[in-house]
Amino acid sequence: MAELENCKECGKLFVRVSSPYCPACLKKQEAQFEQVYRYIRQQEHRMATVSQVHEATDVSVNLIYQWIREGRLKPSIFQNLGYPCRSCGKMIQSGVLCEDCLKKLEHDIDQDEDERNAALKANRAKTYHTRGESRHN
């Protein structure tokens, strides 16, 4: 269902169908995408980094990152394009975290799980069960 919303880019009120951007900003972004894509398609620019593309086209680095995340610009074709890991900032080409941060997160989860299991085991060992005595007078 469509809702009234302020454009994420310009703040203008518009009826949102799917994108958080108003039609005017979407049109502007599409023109910027075409500019970036024309630039990196040229043989001499295929190995350009995001910062080089930004400097050559004056298109926002964050917008270029967004297009890479969305799969509109493919690092498999343009090998030096990437975006920062959400944890450490290292440049990556897929996912949200780099390999190092992903391994650290997995290690931390495993360690936490081991600690919880050890605590449960310790609590079970301290539990005493007694039989209830019946009183008959």
* Angle of helix 61-70 versus helix 23-41 axis, rounded to 10: 80
- The residue range of the domain holding 108 is 98-136
pLDDT, one tens digit per residue, over 18-38 is 889 999 999 999 999 999 999
Please give the pLDDT value at position 49.
Answer: 95
- The answer to whether residue 132 is domain-embedded is yes
**Does residue 67 belong to any structural domain of this protein?**
no
Residue 30 lies in a domain: no
Instruction: Specify if 128 maps to a domain.
Output: yes
Q: What is the pLDDT of residues 61-88, one digit of tens each?
A: 999 999 999 999 998 889 999 999 999 9
Is residue 4 a part of any domain in this protein? no
Mean pLDDT of the chain: 89
Residue 120's alpha-carbon distances to 4, 111, 113, 125, in angstroms, are 50, 14, 11, 9
Residue 44 lies in a domain: no
Residue 133, pLDDT score: 55
Max distance between CA atoms of the chain, in angstroms, equals 101
Q: What is the mean pLDDT of residues 42-50?
A: 94
What's the start-to-end Cα distance of the chain, in Å?
74
Q: Is residue 75 part of a domain?
A: no
Look at the chain and report how many structural domains it folds into. 1
Q: For residue 9, is it within any domain?
A: no
